[in-house]
Structure 1
Amino acid sequence: MAIPSQMKLIPALVLGLFANYVSASGFQLIEQNASGLGNAYAGSAAIADNASTIFYNPAGMTQLQDREFSGGMAAIGTSFKFTDQGSTIGASFPGSKLPGSGNGGDGGGWGFVPNAYLSWALNKDLYVGVGMGAPFGMKTEYDNPWIGAAQATMFDVKTYNINPSIAYRVNDKVSVGAGLSWQRLTADYTRQVGAVVGGGGALNFSASPLKLDLQDDSWGWNVGALFTVSPDTKIGVSYRSTVSYDLTGNINIVGATPVPSSDRAATASLKLPDMFILSGTHQLNTKWQLLGDVSWTGWSTIPKLDIIRTSDGSLAQTLDTEFRDAWRVAVGANYQYSSDVKLKMGIAYDQTPVKSAATRLVSLPDNNRLWLSGGAQWTPSKGSVFDFGVTYLYLKDSKIDNDQRAPAGSPSIGRGRVTGSYAASAWILGVQYSHAF
């Protein structure tokens, strides 16, 4: 009798549902402008030098001119190269191994994250604005042959985020701001599934591609405050809320016997983490400005993920991600090289939410990372500013030992045990144009 395993869906796919490419730890995207890229986003909630402050701290709009526009693009190139160290693909009983081997090539690639912002003053103290970007996201895709194909072969995800905001200047020292966020998530995912057929003690295997699409839209909110401690020193604080999703979509399998073709509905509930930022800037003299940043992301909102069969409400699988909350620390500096050119530099340490090799996913081979950043700002004329930034992300090699084999005696073939290490790195390039009018 054929025993299909197509409904043993990997809940890890839900971790990839938030924009194009991962660059910050976990699947967070903090590249919501290019003006902060050269500083490794140090001072992000306090700098308020263009309309992109709408994302990092909406209170910063009170520091802008009457009307400002900012738009840009980040190009993110990731590299995830796997080295096998004893992976076992298939169930824990003899005779049901998934055919194939190979390291899957480079699981990374290039992607683009656009952003745009517009702010305007209703009067000298009240400002409104709107921003568009993508706060979370990732993409991984492996070449064939890939020994981890039963766990994941590809994620391709896009996110759309719209963030209307308002800010009010309480007095010369204090400004406050708030906003709403509407997010739309769409994703495509593939992996290999299979079935075991037995007869007379013999076990044979047939594999087929599984494709899944999920989507949902939801709402969140953010608040912030900006304090002018002195003419040279500013402190900014901001908070972005959790965002809860009830994702819906279809699981589709088109395969050879004994895996039947199927198209079934599935759902998953997920709560994205909240985020807190504390930032500071200090104008040391006419040439040098210092920036600092400490941020916290509440990744523990994802201790596990459940995939539910819509047809009968039963549980397809639970994945214990065991994510932990994570911290990020950044310091940077700006140097006024000339009246129209400013040079930027920064460094940051970004903690991963992944606790161990046992909970690291082939779709998210994440680890702690070091940001090494530089950039420049050019002001060709009054009201027009171009920003350029580049960052190299250094990641320590990531160990993985993700065991998704079926228990001994189980009729399922499981998704195997992927054991080895990832050599990972990334480049981020950013460009932005801002205009005040």
Structure 2
Amino acid sequence: MKKTTIARLLPAALLALGAGTASAAGFQLLEQNASGIGNAYAGSAAVAENASTIFFNPAGMTQLQAREFSVGVSAVRPSFEFKNKGSVILNAPRIATTGGDGDDAGSWAALPNGYLSWALNKDLYVGVGLGAPFGLITEYDDDWVGRAQSIKFDLKTYNINPSIAYRVNDKLSIGAGVSWQRLEAEYERVATVLPTGISPVPGLSSTFATLDADSDAWGWNVGALFTLSPAMKVGVSYRSTVDHTLEGDLKVEGPAAGLAPTLQSVKAEADVELPDTFIVSVTQKLNDRWEMLGDLSWTGWSSVDQVHIVRTSGLAAGTVAQTLEADFKDTWRVALGANYQLNDAWKLKFGIAWDQTPVKDKERRLVALPDNDRTWLSVGGQWKLSKTNTVDLGAAWLYIPKTKIDNDQSTLGRGRVTGEYDSSVWILGAQYSMAF
């Protein structure tokens, strides 16, 4: 059985740590550290407890020691069980009504991260982060009911984020960074031709079309950290959109390959604008034991609307091979967290969050992304081994309500997928941070 996981990504410099997946709404990856899992990433732009602040708010580097290193890994176990409720598999010129549900298509995988922060003087800091802000993998059995819409959809990002921070005064620090980002995409489905005057094509139902393309692009991020009192900090941060032009090959393989202009293997490209994000965070110490954290974040998912896969060679050059009708909406995420200082060595972490999906309704839900709103319930602990060494542990369970889908692409020869997903996610993580 093939597996479905959300976002298996790994920075090239961290290959030894293994493969990764993530589970935020849409195909955004929150797991840029494991230390935030216990708080459901509440306070992400204000907490600045290790060098991973480079991703969430580079201004937070001014709260760190002179030199800090942080590395972590999150193990993610998503579960996606599809139940068919009347799907029609239309693979012109044949009509079929059989196909599997795919059963549970989730599996364990890992997402690593790494950061380094360095003080040039008491007020000026530089750093670099390695991670993957976006990604997605959904992979089904070849004979599942939605095979004409998608069998495999794999997006990977690799992000290198050099950053700088400056302490303006005791109340304000500012920071900024640039990101080199690589996006790789693989999309596979059963090949189809439009049922408009085209003669029957033998072997079409066992012929597969696969897009394999990649892109390099640049983005940027800025942040500010306000120390309103010894007990209260407020952080704000913004990450820009990243415009990608994916270029690569559209391969058609199987008995029907080459029997029609639209069944030829050709060069292809697709434009996609990955969304921007804005975060406002707060941390508030209530006393020597308790600290509260909060997060309000916005993601501009409406930048992902229609993704046109365009042939750039062959007899059908210049034509659209397929349009992915995402039609996403902008989303909000709200998180609340608490820390309890148990003793000098141990801090306990708790968190809850609501994460809104960018999918508007069941008719526009893609089988490649059976996404829905999710609620995070998180716990964790921080173990201070010494003044310069810290280990964070975290665990989260994500509740996802029943997810209905009714995506009708029958007029395009790709059938209608009607049914329901039963989904949930487990996340376990560990982060090691060291000052030197």
What TM-score do the two structures reach when normalised by structure 2?
A: 0.90
Query: What's the CA shift for 1:198?
Result: 12
Correspondence for 1:166: 164
- 1:349-384 deviation per Cα after TM superposition (whole angstroms, max 9, x unaligned): 000000000110111000000000011110112200
Which of 286, 289, 298 is the aligned partner of 1:287? 289
Contact 1:247–1:267, Cα closer than 8 Å, also in 2: yes
Which of 101, 104, 108 is the aligned partner of 1:103? 101
Contact 1:32–1:52, Cα closer than 8 Å, also in 2: yes
CA distance in 2, matches of 1:306, 1:144: 24
Q: CA RMSD in A?
A: 2.2
Query: What's the CA shift for 1:76?
Result: 1.4
Partner of 1:123, secondary structure, is: coil
Which of 115, 118, 123 is the aligned partner of 1:117? 115
Q: How does 1:1-400 map to 2 (within 5 A)?
A: 21-90=21-90, 96-98=94-96, 100-194=98-192, 206-207=204-205, 208-257=207-256, 260=259, 262-311=264-313, 312-400=317-405
CA distance in 1, matches of 2:200, 2:117: 69
Q: Which residue identity does 1:421 align to in structure 2?
A: E
Correspondence for 2:424: 425
Partner of 2:360, secondary structure, is: coil
Q: Which residue identity does 2:422 align to in structure 1?
A: A
Name whichever of 177-186 and 302-311 sits farther off.
Answer: 302-311
Contact 2:22–2:30, Cα closer than 8 Å, also in 1: no
Partner of 2:265, secondary structure, is: strand
Partner of 2:410, secondary structure, is: coil
CA distance in 2, matches of 1:204, 1:55: 52
Contact 1:391–1:427, Cα closer than 8 Å, also in 2: yes
Matched residues, percent identical? 58
CA distance in 2, matches of 1:151, 1:67: 50
Partner of 1:238, secondary structure, is: strand
CA distance in 2, matches of 1:190, 1:99: 21
Query: What's the CA shift for 1:22?
Result: 4.0
Query: What's the CA shift for 1:307?
Result: 1.3
Query: What's the CA shift for 1:188?
Result: 2.5
Distance 1:431 1:22, change over 3 A: closer
Q: Which residue identity does 2:179 align to in structure 1?
A: S
Distance 1:406 1:352, change over 3 A: same
Partner of 2:34, secondary structure, is: coil
Query: What's the CA shift for 1:111?
Result: 2.2
What TM-score do the two structures reach when normalised by structure 1?
A: 0.90
Contact 1:96–1:203, Cα closer than 8 Å, also in 2: no
CA distance in 1, matches of 2:128, 2:282: 24
Q: Which residue identity does 1:416 align to in structure 2?
A: G
Contact 2:186–2:211, Cα closer than 8 Å, also in 1: yes
Q: Which residue identity does 1:254 align to in structure 2?
A: E
Query: What's the CA shift for 1:262?
Result: 4.0
- 1:181-215 deviation per Cα after TM superposition (whole angstroms, max 9, x unaligned): 1111223232111469999x988663212222110
CA distance in 2, matches of 1:197, 1:287: 68
Distance 1:339 1:399, change over 3 A: same
Distance 1:162 1:356, change over 3 A: same
Partner of 1:322, secondary structure, is: coil
The unaligned stretches of length 5 or more in structure 2 are 1-5, 11-19
Partner of 1:279, secondary structure, is: strand
Q: Which residue identity does 1:45 align to in structure 2?
A: A
Correspondence for 2:17: none
Asked which structure has the greater RCO (Cα within 8 Å, sep 6+), the reply is 1
Q: Which residue identity does 2:398 align to in structure 1?
A: L
Contact 1:106–1:142, Cα closer than 8 Å, also in 2: no
Query: What's the CA shift for 1:294?
Result: 0.2
